[in-house]
Amino acid sequence: MPQLDDLVVGVVALSDGALVGRIRLQKVVYLLDRLGMKSDVPFEYHHYGPYSEALSDAVTDAKFWGRVEEEVSFRLNDGAPYSTFKTRSKAPETLGSLSSGDARRLLAKFAGCTSTVLELAATIHWLAFEEKVADWRAEIKVRKAGKTGNGRLEAALTLLKEVGLAPT
C-alpha cells in the first residue's frame, strides 16, 4: 500500500497535473479502489457519499510537503468555493495496484463526468455493495433527492456499467 499522500500526488499527476474538487478527489479514489487500486483507504458514508478522513489528511500532508498545491476559487453562479489541486510531480508508474495506463484511462473517463455524477456513482456503489441496500434505487433518491434528476442518475449508472462496477 502506498503512503496516502503519495496516492494523492499520483492521482493528481495522472490527471494531467490538475484535478478540480475535493469531492471529486474523494469519489475518484473510492472508485479507483473498487477497480483494483487496493490503497486500503478507509471510507465511511458522509453527506456527499463515501468519504475518507484519512484521504483528507493525506491532502493536507501533500500540501505541507509542497507536493500538491491547492488553489481555492469561487463559482460564478453562487459564490461557493472549490479547490483545484495541482502538482508538477512526475506521474507514477503505478497507482497502488493499477498500472499508470489503467489509472490514467479511468481518471480521463472520470474527468468527463461532473462531480455530481461521480458522487452519485460512488453512492450507488456504496449503497449496493457496502450497505447492501436491496432497493438502492429508491434509497439514493431519498439520500440524494435534489441531485438525481436531469439525467444525472442515468449518467452515474452508465459510468458504473462502463467501468464494470454497476449493481444489478
Using alpha carbons, select from 161, 156, 162, 144 the residue that is nearest to residue 118.
156
Q: Can you give the residue ranges of every domain in the chain?
A: 4-163
Q: How far is CA 112 from CA 2, 8, 34, 55, in A?
A: 26, 19, 19, 22
Residue that the C-alpha cell 489503467 belongs to: 102
Q: What is the pLDDT of residue 168?
A: 83
Q: What is the pLDDT of residue 108?
A: 98
Which residues lie closer than 8 Å to 47 by C-beta, 6 or more apart?
Answer: none
pLDDT mean values, one per 10 residues, the chain (168 residues): 88 98 97 97 95 98 98 95 97 97 98 97 98 98 96 98 96
What residue type is assigned to position 5 of the chain?
A: D
Burial 150-159 (b: 16+ CB within 10 A, else e): eebbebbbeb
